[in-house]
Amino acid sequence: MHENEFHDLSDDADYEASIQHGSASMVRTSSSKQSTSSEPEGSEIVYWKDNVAIHPTQYASERISGRLKLIKQGASLFMTWIPYKGHNSNARLSEKDKNLYTIRAVSFSEIRSIRRHSPALGWQYIIVVLSSGLAFAPLYFYNGGVREFVATIKQHVNLIRSAEDANVFLVNDFQDPLQRTLTSLDLPRAVSISKGTSPSVLAGESPSSTDQDGLAVASLDNSSTNQHKGKQKQKHNDPAHDISIQVLEKFSLVTRFARETTSQLFREHGSGFVSNEREKLVHNSNDPHKVVMTEITKEDPHEVPVASDPLASELEKLSMVWGKPRQGPLGFEEWASFLDSEGRVLDSGALKKRIFYGGVEDGVRKEIWPFLLEYHAYDSTYAEREYLVATKKVEYETIKNQWKSIKPEQARKFTKFRERKSLIEKDVVRTDRSISFYDGDDNPNVTILRDILLTYSFYNFDLGYCQGMSDLLSPILFVIRDESEAFWCFASLMERLGPNFNRDQNGNHAQLFALSKLVEILDSPLHNYFAQNDCLNYFFCFRWILIQFKREFEYDMVLLLWEVLWTHHLSEHLHLYVCVAVLKRHRTKIMGEQMDFDTLLKFINELSGHIDLDATLRDAEALCICAGENGAACIPPGTPPSLPIQDASVYPQLEDEVL
């Protein structure tokens, strides 16, 4: 059946149709027939792989799956990656957005290197770096096949393994003289590196036909041509212009910064990776976000007693002013200004950003948390929310009755229920009893905690109850003050954090793994230190991650931290950057005192109550920006709090478990 697919370009036709459908405003004249020129006449597909995806954002719902192909034409080898049409269950990404990432036949003469990543958890992915220094977004091989991909390339192109890094393959192909010309062009920085840009592909075709090829055209030469065109003309005639505007709007300054950084690093160091270098961070006074990395010296970090921070020796100073200064909390009036007359949040992005930088005032939390926790939709009206609350209340009571109606005789024959109940009862009396809301004997709020947790363990019977859940619920009930609503907000949070509590601990392991990767790129000396001291399992951060720092801060600081994390502004995984930030703040002590695993664990546990939240958040923000796409690529898809990738088999291994 694959035989047929060799010649079946239906996916490309789909793609074409999708362009026409999705971007009617664009000037497009090409027919689908013309566009198949991305697979030139007389070409042969030598490799193809389905379900190769890119992750443009941290959101699982925004991942784009597609087909990767290697196409041989004459002596040249090309690579294409075309997203599937309408493959995304969640339509947060328009077809147009998807097409921005399409890689249309890029010649290997333009490719400098391919870096292979094989995380212990999650999928293998590759990063393709162009001679220009730009790189495509990481391509995740959901069905495997990286080795085969590299092997196939080797058959057609002179591919050599980098001496410095066994995972880097350098393309050594100078057959195409055009390549020289292209690389000598000064390429405009603003071009998205995640976008397919390949003038040489269409070698022999006129620039105008390149234009007609739609989105692929925001290609390098066109962008530079734009600069010579009149404004008017760009607006009306040049799709490339529209695209670059979109790209700039779509991707925050942060991402652009990350791209610039990445491309610059790749350009300067070829296959080098951020972690291998010592960079100096230069603070740009115009914009606190704009931090430029420039290499200073390459030193052996082992020569100094404590290897200095690779990001900046001045990090300690810089970090204090680095992330945006934080603001006061969002109050009632300001909150009201985000709502239209019927209660819809008009600009949820702006709202999240506002909360990210300042949190929410006490009294307003009750209003806003249900949105942050994805219980209420931002575009819902007052009336719709009221209705939802009412129906959900009935639903909650129904689920609650499932265990409420269990009589003692039945309970006697229902071991799982009894054990769950007793475990929950033991935990709620050990949860935040020093907070007045939960203190004292026979506190009704403690009973509500129990009821919600027990009800949840019936609502999600497979996951059941696990220690740590009471820590996550307590602040939610404290803020929401309504049993049913607190339940649904908690259930919604558990959609994201559920895997933290799986029997095999896969959610935690994925996060600890990602954390180790982040430290590797953001502080390689510290990473090396951990490696040498048997600390790479990062178990000392286990508590931080399992319950989102709940035990590390005072109660009201936890509320602030959580609402900041839940905005998912900058990254769904900001909490991992918070981990890096805290570790970095103490790097000198950790390495200077030669802490071993035990000492480190103790040290970390004892930091509880002594972490400066504001400063840490600013550091985390800066680190997140700094890591950019390299950082995002460290985090395997589906890592909590990302939504799980597949709904089925989320909790597969619970059969033999008691609770």
Partner 1 sequence: MASRRRMLLKVIILGDSGVGKTSLMNQYVNRKFSNQYKATIGADFLTKEVQIDDRLFTLQIWDTAGQERFQSLGVAFYRGADCCVLVYDVNVQKSFENLNNWREEFLIQASPSDPENFPFVVLGNKIDVDGGNSRVVSEKKAKAWCASKGNIPYFETSAKEGFNVEAAFECIAKNALKNEPEEDIYLPDTIDVGGGQQQRSTGCEC
Ligand X SMILES: Nc1nc2c(ncn2[C@@H]2O[C@H](COP(=O)(O)OP(=O)(O)OP(=O)(O)O)[C@@H](O)[C@H]2O)c(=O)[nH]1
Q: Which residues bind partner 1 (CB under 8 A)?
A: 419, 422-423, 426-427, 429-431, 433-434, 466-468, 470-471, 501-505, 537, 539, 542-543, 546-547, 551, 597-598, 601-602, 605, 657-659
Contact 19, 98 (CB under 8 A): no
Q: Give the C-alpha separation, 6 to 446, whole Å.
A: 64
Least CB distance to ligand X at residue 427 (A)? 7
| Total residues in contact with ligand X, by rule CB under 6 A | 4
Question: For residues 546 and 583, which CB has a smaller minimum distance to partner 1 in the complex?
Answer: 546
**Distance of alpha carbon 44 from its chain centroid, rounded?**
36
HEC string of 454-521? HHHHHHCCCCCCCCCHHHHHHHHHHHHCCHHHHHHHHHHHHHHHHHHHCCCCHHHHHHHHHHHHHHHH
Considering only residues 235, 430, 481, 602, which one is a binding residue for ligand X as defined by CB under 6 A? 430
Burial class from Cβ neighbours inside 10 Å (0-12, 13-18, 19+) for residue 262 reads buried
Least CB distance to partner 1 at residue 457 (A)? 13
Q: Where does 253-341 have alpha helices with state H?
A: 253-269, 315-322, 332-337
Give residue 246's identity as a one-letter amino acid code. Answer: Q
Residue 105, both tokens:
């036949």
Q: Give the C-alpha separation, 569 to 574, whole Å.
A: 8
- Among candidate residues 480, 315, 483, the one with its CA nearest the CA of residue 399: 483
Question: For residues 202 and 611, which CB has a smaller minimum distance to partner 1 in the complex?
Answer: 611
Least CB distance to ligand X at residue 415 (A)? 19
Least CB distance to partner 1 at residue 446 (A)? 12
Residue 584, both tokens:
């970095």
Least CB distance to ligand X at residue 441 (A)? 13
47 forms beta bridges with: 70
Question: For residues 162 and 467, which CB has a smaller minimum distance to ligand X in the complex?
Answer: 467
Question: For residues 395 and 419, which CB has a smaller minimum distance to partner 1 in the complex?
Answer: 419
Give residue 309's identity as a one-letter amino acid code. Answer: D
Among 344-352, 425-433, 573-581, 645-653, the segment contacting ligand X (CB under 6 A): 425-433
Question: For residues 277 and 552, which CB has a smaller minimum distance to partner 1 in the complex?
Answer: 552
Residue 597, both tokens:
């695993």
Question: For residues 317 and 426, which CB has a smaller minimum distance to partner 1 in the complex?
Answer: 426
Full DSSP string of 377-426? -TT--HHHHHHHHHHHHHHHHHHHHHHHT--HHHHHT-HHHHHHHHHHHH
Least CB distance to partner 1 at residue 464 (A)? 9
CA atoms within 13 A on the CB side of 307: 20
Question: For residues 320 and 429, which CB has a smaller minimum distance to ligand X in the complex?
Answer: 429
Least CB distance to ligand X at residue 494 (A)? 20
Give residue 126's identity as a one-letter amino acid code. Answer: I
List the interface residues with ligand X, window 441-480 (CB under 6 A).
467
Could you say which of ligand X, partner 1, none residue 468 binds, taking C-beta under 5 to 8 angstroms by partner kind? partner 1
Could you say which of partner 1, ligand X, none residue 466 binds, taking C-beta under 5 to 8 angstroms by partner kind? partner 1
C-alpha torsion angle, residues 277, 282, 283, 286 (rounded to 10): -120
Least CB distance to partner 1 at residue 590 (A)? 17
345 forms beta bridges with: 339
Question: For residues 410 and 422, which CB has a smaller minimum distance to partner 1 in the complex?
Answer: 422
Question: For residues 305 and 440, which CB has a smaller minimum distance to ligand X in the complex?
Answer: 440
Using only the alpha carbons of the chain, give its radius of gyration.
27
- Is the torsion defined by CA of 586, 591, 592, 598 positive or negative? positive
Least CB distance to partner 1 at residue 495 (A)? 19
Contact 40, 130 (CB under 8 A): no
Q: Does 658 bind ligand X (CB under 6 A)?
A: no
Least CB distance to ligand X at residue 464 (A)? 15
Could you say which of ligand X, partner 1, none residue 431 binds, taking C-beta under 5 to 8 angstroms by partner kind? partner 1
Full DSSP string of 337-361? HTB-TTS-BS-HHHHHHHHHHH-B-
Beta-carbon contacts of residue 452 (< 8 Å; ≥ 6 apart): 473, 477, 483, 486, 487, 490
DSSP 330: B
Least CB distance to partner 1 at residue 616 (A)? 20
Q: Buried b vs exposed e over 578-600: b needs ≥16 C-beta within 10 Å?
A: bbbbbbbbbbbebbeeebeeeeb
Q: Give the C-alpha separation, 580 to 589, whole Å.
A: 15
Could you say which of ligand X, partner 1, none residue 503 binds, taking C-beta under 5 to 8 angstroms by partner kind? partner 1
Contact 292, 538 (CB under 8 A): no
Least CB distance to ligand X at residue 343 (A)? 43
Q: Give the C-alpha separation, 512 to 542, whole Å.
A: 8
Question: For residues 283 and 551, which CB has a smaller minimum distance to partner 1 in the complex?
Answer: 551
Residue 255, both tokens:
């991402």
Among 52-60, 293-301, 324-332, 423-431, the segment contacting ligand X (CB under 6 A): 423-431
Could you say which of ligand X, partner 1, none residue 547 binds, taking C-beta under 5 to 8 angstroms by partner kind? partner 1
Question: For residues 471 and 520, which CB has a smaller minimum distance to partner 1 in the complex?
Answer: 471
Among 380-388, 422-430, 522-530, 548-556, the segment contacting ligand X (CB under 6 A): 422-430
Residue 511, both tokens:
């996060």
Could you say which of ligand X, partner 1, none residue 295 binds, taking C-beta under 5 to 8 angstroms by partner kind? none
Question: For residues 51 and 467, which CB has a smaller minimum distance to ligand X in the complex?
Answer: 467
Least CB distance to partner 1 at residue 280 (A)? 36
- Among candidate residues 110, 424, 115, 83, the one with its CA nearest the CA of residue 262: 115
Least CB distance to ligand X at residue 653 (A)? 22
Question: For residues 277 and 471, which CB has a smaller minimum distance to partner 1 in the complex?
Answer: 471
Question: For residues 350 and 411, which CB has a smaller minimum distance to partner 1 in the complex?
Answer: 411
How far apart, in Å, are the Cα atoms of 468 and each of 10, 118, 233, 427, 481? 50, 31, 60, 9, 20
Could you say which of ligand X, partner 1, none residue 601 binds, taking C-beta under 5 to 8 angstroms by partner kind? partner 1
Contacting positions for ligand X (CB under 6 A):
426, 429-430, 467
